[in-house]
């Protein structure tokens, strides 16, 4: 999870599904981030995980009904005082009860009294998730302002696979922190939008065991893909090398190695897309020749190592801008580039970034000031958003997920300007 911020009061509701065991890790992550957590399970959640586990992890008492500590009026107080309510897992049953305004246990009573952001994290079998009753309940909750996360796809309990899996605890904690930092960060405003996001570094092979790589972690691109998917977009994430990041929930991940493979993947998926976000650190050069067998060193230490001749790779971002201008990407309404700049004696970060925006011809350029302990391999970022129309917005320092939410806001604004 991302860095600590001001401690907040979080209610974690736990409904009765097998994913309740993952709620224990969510509680742990949120308390470790310094927040004060109250767990409110349903009766059936306690059939999966005992109250003692949640009491020990949260350091707070755990009740399911409104009849304990009545003098403290917990069914009103917990909701009123919370900064965030997270319901994980949210079963079909708890979504239905929340959508109809029931108050038949402490969790649903708390949901009715909460005035803070509420995030439901669905987990159920695919049939239940896709059932019109659940679809309607989710739409109702979203219309009322609740965040209902997209579930992940993958193996469910038993043999079946499909959408309905609960996102991993790390992802839930990250999105919970995003809502604490910015309560309005996850509106469901990208339904019907198809996006291609690239992330991570490419690896340019030298021989079968060696490559030229870079220090990109992939975190910023993953955060953009995650936020876009949770705002309703259909996202294809073209992922190069990353620091072992989990697939974001609800995102289709395509893995690539080299710049050439990344280009092929973008060419394949971009024609369908409305949005292209090029967050990947694509190599500008690759070895001109890839050796088919491992390059051996000479036994004689005085023999110079073989030189590696480099050649340019194709610029995928500039290629997409050209393809759109040539009418080959009829759906494409927003092309976003990234620039990592240090500035030097000849110009500062913004001077170089403005020139890059003009050179690349994209609609939006996300600019990071990079350097020692900045941007690469860390969880926070800051920078600017430069738009082709000349607008320049500073991005406040914060988590890469918070920054992603600002970038996605700018993409939504572009889509609206383009009649979408
Ligand atoms: N990019 C790309 N294809 C490449 C290299 C870069 O699509 N072969 C994209 C990156 O994904 C990023 C943007 O271009 O969105 C900026 O990349 P950068 O390497 O900083 O830009 P360059 O034009 O190569 O400038 P510099 O001289 O600073 O390296």
Burial letters for 49-87: b for 16+ Cβ neighbours within 10 Å, e otherwise? beeebbeebbeeebbbebeeeeeeebbeebbeebbbbbb
Looking at the predicted structure, is the pLDDT value of residue 376 above 70? no
Q: Please state, rounded to an integer, the average pLDDT across all residues of the chain.
A: 94
CA-proximal residue: ligand 1, atom 29 (nearest): 284
Higher pLDDT, 184 or 368: 184
CATH 3.40.50.1950 in the chain is located at 9-181
Q: Is 120 annotated as a binding residue?
A: no
pLDDT for position 352 = 94
The residue-averaged pLDDT of 18-28 equals 98
Question: Is residue 193 within 8 Å of residue 229, measured between CB atoms?
Answer: no
Pairing between strand 210-212 and 204-207?
antiparallel
**CA distance linking residue 294 with residue 287, whole number of Å:** 14
**Topology of domain 194-417, CATH:** Rossmann fold (3.40.50)
pLDDT for position 74 = 78
Q: How confident is the model at residue 6 (pLDDT cuts 50, 70, 90)?
A: confident
Question: Is residue 405 within 8 Å of residue 185, measured between CB atoms?
Answer: yes
Q: How confident is the model at residue 3 (pLDDT cuts 50, 70, 90)?
A: low
Looking at the predicted structure, is the pLDDT value of residue 4 above 80? no
**Residue to mutate, 203, 214, 339, ligand 1, most ligand atoms under 8 Å from C-beta:** 339
**Residues with Cβ within 8 Å of residue 262, at least 6 apart in sequence:** 198, 202, 238, 240, 256, 280, 282, 316
Q: Is 360 annotated as a binding residue?
A: yes
Q: Is 214 a catalytic residue?
A: yes
CA 284–ligand 1 middle distance (angstroms): 7
Query: Which of 137, 214, 368, 381 is an active site residue?
Result: 214
| Helix pair angle (51-58, 20-32), 10° resolution | 10
Residues with CB under 6 A from ligand 1: 259, 278, 280, 282, 284, 313, 315-317, 337-340, 356
Higher pLDDT, 237 or 74: 237
Residue of 151, 179, 178, 175 whose CA lies nearest to 165: 151
Q: Is 356 annotated as a binding residue?
A: yes
CA 339–ligand 1 middle distance (angstroms): 7
pLDDT for position 135 = 98
CA 316–ligand 1 middle distance (angstroms): 8
CA-proximal residue: ligand 1, atom 17 (nearest): 339
**Residue to mutate, 316, 364, 386, ligand 1, most ligand atoms under 8 Å from C-beta:** 316
CA-proximal residue: ligand 1, atom 14 (nearest): 317
CA-proximal residue: ligand 1, atom 20 (nearest): 339
Which atom of ligand 1 lies closest to the CA of 320?
A: 7
Which atom of ligand 1 lies closest to the CA of 336?
A: 15
**Residue to mutate, 315, 341, 343, ligand 1, most ligand atoms under 8 Å from C-beta:** 315
Q: How confident is the model at residue 70 (pLDDT cuts 50, 70, 90)?
A: confident
Question: Is residue 151 within 8 Å of residue 165, measured between CB atoms?
Answer: yes
CA 411–ligand 1 middle distance (angstroms): 20
Looking at the predicted structure, is the pLDDT value of residue 351 above 70? yes
The residue-averaged pLDDT of 303-327 equals 97
Which of 3.40.640.10, 3.40.50.1950, 3.30.420.340, 3.90.1150.10 would CATH assign to domain 9-181?
3.40.50.1950
Looking at the predicted structure, is the pLDDT value of residue 419 above 80? no
Tell me the percentage of the chain whose pLDDT exceeds 70: 96
Q: Is 338 annotated as a binding residue?
A: yes
Q: For 76-94, what is each residue's pLDDT tens digit? A: 899 999 999 999 999 999 9
Strands (DSSP E) along 183-333, which ranges?
194-199, 204-207, 210-212, 234-239, 251-255, 275-278, 285-287, 310-312
CATH 3.40.50.10300 in the chain is located at 194-417
Tell me the percentage of the chain whose pLDDT exceeds 90: 85
pLDDT for position 72 = 81
Between the alpha carbon of residue 115 and those of residues 105, 215, 380, the distances in Å are 18, 42, 29
The residue-averaged pLDDT of 219-247 equals 97
Distance of CA 364 to the CA centre of its chain: 19
pLDDT for position 378 = 64
pLDDT for position 1 = 58
Q: For 379-401, what is each residue's pLDDT tens digit? A: 666 789 999 999 999 998 899 99
């Amino acid at each position: 999870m991302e860095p600590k911020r001001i401690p907040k009061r979080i209610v974690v509701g736990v409904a009765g599904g097998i994913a309740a065991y993952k709620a224990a890790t969510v509680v742990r992550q949120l308390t470790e981030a310094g927040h004060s957590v109250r767990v409110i399970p349903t009766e059936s959640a306690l059939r999966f995980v005992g109250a003692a586990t949640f009491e020990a992890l949260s350091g707070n008492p755990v009740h399911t009904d409104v009849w304990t500590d009545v003098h403290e009026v917990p069914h009103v107080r917990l909701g009123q005082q919370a900064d965030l309510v997270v319901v994980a897992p949210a079963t079909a049953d708890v979504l239905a009860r929340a959508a109809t305004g029931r108050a038949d246990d402490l969790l649903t009573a708390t949901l009715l009294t909460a005035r803070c952001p509420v995030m439901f994290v669905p987990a159920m079998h695919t049939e239940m998730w896709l059932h019109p009753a659940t679809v309607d309940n989710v739409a109702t909750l979203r219309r009322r302002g609740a965040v209902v996360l997209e579930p992940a796809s993958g193996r469910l309990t038993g043999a079946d696979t499909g959408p309905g899996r609960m996102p991993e605890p790390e992802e839930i904690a990250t999105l919970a922190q995003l809502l604490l930092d910015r309560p309005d960060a996850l509106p469901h405003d990208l339904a019907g939008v198809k996006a291609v996001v690239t992330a991570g570094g490419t690896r340019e092979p030298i021989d079968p065991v060696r490559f030229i790589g870079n220090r990109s972690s992939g975190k910023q691109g993953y955060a953009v893909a995650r936020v876009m998917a949770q705002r309703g977009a259909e996202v294809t994430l073209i992922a190069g090398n990353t620091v072992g990041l989990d697939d974001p929930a609800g995102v289709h991940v395509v893995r690539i190695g080299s710049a050439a493979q990344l280009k092929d993947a973008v060419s394949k998926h971009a024609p369908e897309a409305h949005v292209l976000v090029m967050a990947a650190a694509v190599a500008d050069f690759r070895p001109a020749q890839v050796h088919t067998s491992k390059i051996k060193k000479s036994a004689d230490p005085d023999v110079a190592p073989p030189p590696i001749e480099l050649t340019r790779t194709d610029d995928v971002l500039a290629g997409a801008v050209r393809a759109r201008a040539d009418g080959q990407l009829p759906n494409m309404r927003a092309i976003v580039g990234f620039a990592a700049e240090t500035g030097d004696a000849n110009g500062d970060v913004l001077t170089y970034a403005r020139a890059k925006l003009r050179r690349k011809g994209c609609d939006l350029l996300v600019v990071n000031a990079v350097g020692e302990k900045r941007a690469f391999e860390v969880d926070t970022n800051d920078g600017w958003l430069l738009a082709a129309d000349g607008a320049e917005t500073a991005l406040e320092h914060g988590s890469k997920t918070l920054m992603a939410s600002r970038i996605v806001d700018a993409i939504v604004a572009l889509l609206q300007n383009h009649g979408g």
